[in-house]
């Protein structure tokens, strides 16, 4: 089965899915074998559920249904189909990567560009070698643009995702201390993320540059085309301000206040606003988009609970985002408790990084510091150091947190959000 032959069938389909629970009529199902499922069983079930076609690797079952297609590798076929589809699309694609803030930036860019265009974008955090092709395949004729989040935890991953999404514009949110293990230290992070720049440069595509970031500046020096923000002589100039706990940006005397907390979100907003202005959206509309975007995804989210202010940042954590988050939270008015969870995937640097964060938290002077996870436990000898979220919950059942403000931040694996109901 080759891609050109299969493509017309794809064009008739409703959507492409790899999740057997989400198969609807006229969908194309890619059967990846999981731990609990056998791809062949899933394939038969998919056809029963009305799937238009099923792609499967195994050939060891009886079903000779015309709509089941055997391929040597389901993953390769998915990626190749996405590349083929991308090549037919005549729309600009904006590719995003970086250590922190990809999803947030993607969501704000989507909100801004949607003021004028019909924009497709990465759903949730589907940013890997499967998520990116799925997003590309979800682009329909009515879409005028797309924003694609590209995640990576090792070298050559972004390079691959670029060959699938062929971005026309690219932005690296930042270079931070995330996935140090897989990338081989901070230098490795810079190299790995810069694969986006390598692609854009090779193909003469536009780079969006935060001129306050020395690494971005250095990596894009003398390169055109680019769109810049951050400095007085940048293409677009924004001023940072905050209103209460929320961050805002000012453009030519017009203020837009977001519903995001954390100064680090300022650059995320600037990138989105720059793209908006570049695509001819006036700032009043950009303001409208920024003011109406409400994070609901445990990223820089502020919620009120029984008179207390909770900052939920439990989606992920690494030393750079943790540092930024603590510096932001210390500016909140009133008493403050932090509940911080382990930062995972740090490799050799792990112990030192956890120590550094604990020290920073102590220096900043929060009223109460609670840590969750084995890594913190090995460096935090206080009584408020718990091995996991379940232990934290047991503690919270007996001890009410007194502070007016509470920050929850930790890696995905720690799942600190499970404790919210007990606060």
Beta strands in 150-253 (DSSP E): 169-172, 206-210, 226-229, 239-243, 246-251
Reduce the DSSP state of residue 75 to 3 states and report it: helix
Part of the chain binding ligand ATP (CB under 6 A), chosen from 97-105, 199-207, 272-280, 357-365? 97-105
Residue with tokens 């050799």: 348
- Please tell me whether residue 104 binds ligand ATP under the rule CB under 6 A: yes
Q: Left, alpha or beta for 307 (phi > 0: left; psi -120 to 50: alpha)?
A: left
Contact 265, 300 (CB under 8 A): yes
- Please tell me whether residue 321 binds Mg ion under the rule CB under 5 A: no
- Alpha-carbon distance of 331 to 344, in angstroms, equals 26
Q: Which residue is nearest to ligand ATP (CB)?
A: 101
Distances (CA, A) of 220 to 77, 156, 170, 309: 34, 19, 12, 41
Q: What part of residues 90-109 is at the interface with Mg ion (CB under 5 A)?
A: 102-103
Distances (CA, A) of 317 to 62, 99, 332: 47, 10, 20
Residue 252 annotated as part of some ligand binding site: no
Part of the chain binding ligand ATP (CB under 6 A), chosen from 164-172, 265-273, 278-286, 338-346? 265-273
- Please tell me whether residue 325 binds ligand ATP under the rule CB under 6 A: yes
Residue 389 annotated as part of some ligand binding site: no
Part of the chain binding ligand ATP (CB under 6 A), chosen from 93-101, 224-232, 343-351, 391-399? 93-101
State the nearest-atom distance from the C-beta of 298 to ligand ATP, in Å: 8
- Please tell me whether residue 320 binds ligand ATP under the rule CB under 6 A: yes
DSSP structure class, residue 342 = -
End-to-end CA distance of the chain: 56
- Please tell me whether residue 174 binds ligand ATP under the rule CB under 6 A: yes
Task: Return phi, psi of residue 147, to 5°.
Answer: -120, 120
Binds 101: which of ligand ATP, Mg ion, none (CB < 5-8 Å by kind): ligand ATP
Structure tokens at 171: 């932005």
Part of the chain binding ligand ATP (CB under 6 A), chosen from 20-28, 195-203, 261-269, 285-293? 261-269
- Please tell me whether residue 321 binds ligand ATP under the rule CB under 6 A: yes
- Alpha-carbon distance of 275 to 236, in angstroms, equals 10
- Please tell me whether residue 268 binds ligand ATP under the rule CB under 6 A: yes
- Alpha-carbon distance of 381 to 49, in angstroms, equals 55
Judged by CB under 5 A, how many residues of this single chain contact Mg ion?
Answer: 3
Q: Which is nearer to ligand ATP, 31 or 113 (CB)?
A: 113
- Alpha-carbon distance of 221 to 212, in angstroms, equals 13
Part of the chain binding Mg ion (CB under 5 A), chosen from 120-128, 194-202, 293-301, 354-362? 120-128
Q: List interacting residues with ligand ATP (CB under 6 A).
A: 98, 100-104, 125, 127, 151, 173-174, 262, 264-265, 267-268, 299-300, 313, 315-316, 320-321, 324-325
Residues annotated within a binding site: 98-104
Residues annotated within a binding site for ATP: 98-104
């Amino acid at each position: 089965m080759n891609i050109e032959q299969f493509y017309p069938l794809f064009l008739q389909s409703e959507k492409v899915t790899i999740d057997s629970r989400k198969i609807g009529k006229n969908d194309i199902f890619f059967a990846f074998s999981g731990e609990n499922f056998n791809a062949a069983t899933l394939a038969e079930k998919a056809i029963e559920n009305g799937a238009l076609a099923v792609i499967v690797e195994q050939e060891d079952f009886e079903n000779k249904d015309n709509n089941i297609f055997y391929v040597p590798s389901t993953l390769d076929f998915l990626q190749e189909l996405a590349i083929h589809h991308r090549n037919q699309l005549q729309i600009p694609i904006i590719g995003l990567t970086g250590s922190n803030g990809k999803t947030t930036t993607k969501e704000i860019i989507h909100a801004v560009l949607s003021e004028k265009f019909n924009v497709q974008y990465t759903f949730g955090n589907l940013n890997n070698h499967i998520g990116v092709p799925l997003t590309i395949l979800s682009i329909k004729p009515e879409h005028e643009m797309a924003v694609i989040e590209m995640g990576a935890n090792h070298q050559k991953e972004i390079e691959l995702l670029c060959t699938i999404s062929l971005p026309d514009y690219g932005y690296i949110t930042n270079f931070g201390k995330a996935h140090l293990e897989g990338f081989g230290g901070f230098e490795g992070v810079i190299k790995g993320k810069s694969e986006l720049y390598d692609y854009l440069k090779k193909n003469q595509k536009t780079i969006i540059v935060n001129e306050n970031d020395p690494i971005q500046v250095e990596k894009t020096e003398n390169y055109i085309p680019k769109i810049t923000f951050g400095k007085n002589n940048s293409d677009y100039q924004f001023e940072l301000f905050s209103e209460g706990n929320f961050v805002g940006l000012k453009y030519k005397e017009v203020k837009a206040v977001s519903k995001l907390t954390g100064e680090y979100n300022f650059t995320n907003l600037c990138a989105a606003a720059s793209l908006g202005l570049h695509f001819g959206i006036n700032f009043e509309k950009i303001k409208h988009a920024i003011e109406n975007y409400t994070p609901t995804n445990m990223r820089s989210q502020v919620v009120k609970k029984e008179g207390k202010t909770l900052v939920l940042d439990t989606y992920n954590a690494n030393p750079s985002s943790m540092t930024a988050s603590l510096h932001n939270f210390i500016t909140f008015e009133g008493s403050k408790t932090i509940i911080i969870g382990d930062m995972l995937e740090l490799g050799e640097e792990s112990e030192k990084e956890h120590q550094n964060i604990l020290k920073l938290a102590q220096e900043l002077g929060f009223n109460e510091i609670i840590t969750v996870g084995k890594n913190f436990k090995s460096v935090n000898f206080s009584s408020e150091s718990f091995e996991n979220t379940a232990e934290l919950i047991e503690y919270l059942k007996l001890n009410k947190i007194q502070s007016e403000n509470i920050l929850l931040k930790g890696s995905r694996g720690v799942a600190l959000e499970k404790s919210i109901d007990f606060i």
